[in-house]
């Protein structure tokens, strides 16, 4: 009878340890899911910011080219005069 009680106690302890492990795994999976969602949000923000920056860089490039053309055009007009 003592052997059966000891075996039953061992089984119960093992089951408790297994459930504790499952709870830990479940908690870790939930944490990973939250981190994935945060990462997706930050990636979206980064993508939007990089698109805006690319547009601003193109606009600035156009403005610099126009400015340089106007300087060259003014130099050419002064030389011709």
Instruction: Return the pLDDT at 1.
Output: 80
Among candidates 52, 74, 70, 72, which has minimal Cα distance to 62? 70
DSSP string, 6-54: HHHHHHHHHHHHHHHHHHHHHHHHHHHHHHHHHHHHHHHHHHHHHHHHH
User: How far is the CA of 57 from the CAs of 7, 19, 33, 60, in angstroms?
Assistant: 73, 56, 36, 5
What's the predicted TM-score (pTM) here? 0.61
pLDDT of residue 76: 67
Work out the pLDDT band at 61, boundaries 50, 70, 90: very high
Q: 2 versus 79: which is more confidently predicted?
A: 2
């Amino acid at each position: 009878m003592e052997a059966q009680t000891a075996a039953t106690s061992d089984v119960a302890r093992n089951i408790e340890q297994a459930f504790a492990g499952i709870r830990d795994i479940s908690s870790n999976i939930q944490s990973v899911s939250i981190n994935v969602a945060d990462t997706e949000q930050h990636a979206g923000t980064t993508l939007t910011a990089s698109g805006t920056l690319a547009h601003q860089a193109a606009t600035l490039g156009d403005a610099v080219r126009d400015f340089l053309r106007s300087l060259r055009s003014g130099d050419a007009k002064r030389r011709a005069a």
